[in-house]
Structure formats: structure tokens, C-alpha cells
Amino acid sequence: MKQLVYFFCTTLLALSACITEAHAQSSVDAFFTQDGKLYVVVGVLLLIFISMVFFLVSMERRIKRLEQKDRNDH
């Protein structure tokens, strides 16, 4: 569980560093920054990442519960 939280924090930090990094405007950069499209892409990626973390944590809890139940039955 601690590893998952550590991974989540480091990935979030790296993602925020990539977004706030100042660099030259290219045509792709201009396309995504106009009308706030970049923030939509980042928001969707964040939503996907958070839902994956939630899913993994819930699966870990279910597996732990099943393992404890199996130990108690034997």
C-alpha cells in the first residue's frame, strides 16, 4: 500500500512538473493551449489515473479479506 501511495505521489509530481515546464511554443503546443484543450487532456488523464489507483486499492482490500477468510477456515 505504501508503494502504491509513493508511486502515485511521484507520478503526480512528475506530471505537474511537465505541465508547468516553460518551453518554446511549437504548433502542437499552440494547438493544445488555445481554448484550454491542454487542461482537458490533463484532466482526463488524471481522472483515468485516479480511477486506476482506486480500482487497485479496492482489489487489494478484497484480496486481503479473502486471504484472511481462507486462513480462518483452515
- Cell numbers linked to 70: 481462507
User: Could you tell me if 15 and 42 are in contact, meaning their C-beta atoms sit under 8 angstroms apart?
Assistant: yes
* End-to-end alpha carbon distance in the chain: 26
pLDDT at residue number 68:
93
Residue, of 27 and 47, whose pLDDT is higher:
47
- For residue range 35-66, list pLDDT tens digits in order: 777 888 889 999 999 999 999 999 999 999 99
Q: What is the pTM of this model?
A: 0.54
Helix axes 37-73 and 2-20, enclosed angle (nearest 10):
180
15 C-beta neighbours (distance < 10 Å), count? 14
The answer on pLDDT for 22 being more than 60 is no
